[in-house]
Amino acid sequence: MEVRTLRYFVAVAEELHFGRAAARLHISQPPLSRAIKRLESDIGAVLLHRSPAGVTLTPAGAVLLDEARTLLDRADRIGERVAAVAGAATLTVGILGDGTDPGATRLAAAFRRRHPDVEVRVRETDLTDPTCGLRAGLVDIALTRGPFDETGLTVHRLRADPVGAVLRADDPLAHRDTLRLPDLVDRQWFRFPADTDPAWQTYWHGGEPREGPVVRAVQECLQAVLWNGTVGMTPLGHEHPDELAVVPLTDMAPSRVVVAWNESDANPLIPSFARIATAAYRA
């Protein structure tokens, strides 16, 4: 019974959906299904009930899920302890924009409890690099938002936040309950520099080319709204000055909070960080 196969099983058992589990594992669905069938054959028991409504655990599957989590946790700790002895007990984390997200706060506390001897170095980056320096080798792992070019990266979704239009409070549109992108078609938007990741720019520009001031940081975005009546997008739930208003946009896909790292990076602290982040953001 391979550790990798157990990871596959745990992903399906937690997601209760082969498609979501495959996306979480960054593999296609057919090899995942084959791996689970081989595992059931090796164990000699049905682990999952499959139906058009989804996937449910059998009693045998529930037992294996509990045992697999324990075994995988021990396997992870072995790698972490070896890395610490070898002097690799440091992790540089890139954080995009606002590091005060409650999920990030829970993550920091949980990571300290799990890895009290690891030195965490935080690099906060502006909005022009959604990978937070991953491609330049400046960080080991990034706590950021999508979408961006994922070539060569492993990207795991932590949460999806609805977005809204950020407006000056005295803007006539600020009194609406909801907005759609066509409501903002003739307005000035804050924009990112031309060399910013195209997927990132397209999303935060509402899928259209925009005119308006070029910004690089969250505070620059907000100041452009306050001083010039510029508009743009922001995740809902963030606190803003009373002079600003955020109105939900009903025709925009949510903003994905993700953790990302280079596929080739073998630092054993990275998968541990990703697992702890998943639990912290689900809370």
Q: Averaged over 86-93, what is the pLDDT?
A: 75
Residue 79's pLDDT is what? 63
DSSP code of 172?
A: G
Structural class in CATH, domain 163-253: alpha beta
| Rounded Cα–Cα distance for residues 272 and 259 (Å) | 12
User: What is the rounded radius of gyration, in angstroms, for the C-alpha atoms of the chain?
Assistant: 22
Q: Averaged over 147-155, what is the pLDDT?
A: 93
DSSP-based three-state secondary structure for 87: coil
Percent of the chain with pLDDT over 70: 94
- Cβ atoms of residues 179 and 252 within 8 Å: no
Nearest to 254 by CA among 182, 159, 158: 159
| Rounded Cα–Cα distance for residues 269 and 91 (Å) | 7
Q: Would residue 38 be called left, alpha or beta, if left means φ above 0 and alpha means ψ between -120 and 50 degrees?
A: alpha
Average pLDDT over the chain reads 89
Residue 3 host element (H or E) = helix 3-15
> Which residue is it, tokens 């949980």?
110
This model's pTM is above 0.85 = no
Has domain 3-83 been given CATH number 1.10.287.130?
A: no
Nearest to 178 by CA among 202, 200, 189, 162: 162
Looking at the structure, give the CATH architecture of the domain made up of residues 88-160+256-282.
Answer: 3-Layer(aba) Sandwich (3.40)
| 78: pLDDT strictly greater than 80 | no
- Spans of all domains in the chain: 3-83, 88-160+256-282, 163-253
DSSP code of 171?
A: S
Rounded (to 5) percent helix, strand, coil in the chain: 40, 25, 35
Q: Do domains 88-160+256-282 and 163-253 have the same CATH topology?
A: yes
| Rounded Cα–Cα distance for residues 240 and 86 (Å) | 45
| 75: pLDDT strictly greater than 80 | no
Residue 24's pLDDT is what? 79
Q: Averaged over 188-193, what is the pLDDT?
A: 92
